[in-house]
Amino acid sequence: MRIRSQADLEKARELGLKSLYPDKVKVMVGMGSCGLAAGAQAAYDSLRQEIEKRRLDAIVCRTGCIGFCEEEPLVDVLRPGMPRITYSQITGEKASALISGLGNGRLSKEWALCRMDEEEHLVRGETRRYPLGEVPGEAEDI
């Protein structure tokens, strides 16, 4: 997309934000060199296959190093309006089980490393908070 006006810039900004926070499930796989060395490619491939097989409306994407190398491969699951859940040491087999639960509308506590209740929106200069009262019951203990 060529940016020739302020309106073009605003459109590019909105498209970028929509790719970061889509209106559907987004699964992000840490694929920095540490993640790849720990087997992130197999996890990524398995996640994509399971989502495709189950015909889930979800995006699987690669991301860079998340910063906790000893827990790689790391997988973040972001559902609209819900906290981001980070899962650690996700193998191809674990990825299949993770998507199985997600397909049933449930978050898995198994392999959960942490739950992020807020994120800094650097583009907008604000903090995006997930209301704790709306966290699904299965995520309360994560």
In tens, the pLDDT along 22-52 reads 788 999 999 999 999 999 999 999 999 999 9
pLDDT, averaged across the chain:
85
Q: CA-CA-CA-CA torsion for 16, 30, 26, 103, nearest 10 degrees?
A: 170
Residues 6+ apart with CB under 8 A from 107: 77, 79, 85, 101, 136, 138, 139, 142
Comparing 16 with 52, the larger pLDDT belongs to 52
- Alpha helices by DSSP H, the chain: 6-20, 33-37, 40-53, 92-103
Residues 6+ apart with CB under 8 A from 70: none
In tens, the pLDDT along 52-63 reads 999 999 999 999
pLDDT value of position 28: 95
Cis status, amide bond into 83, omega within 30 of 0: no
* Fold of the domain built from segment(s) 22-139: Glutaredoxin (3.40.30)
Cβ(74)–Cβ(68) below 8 Å: yes
Q: CA–CA separation, 75 vs 3, rounded Å?
A: 33
pTM above 0.85, yes or no: no
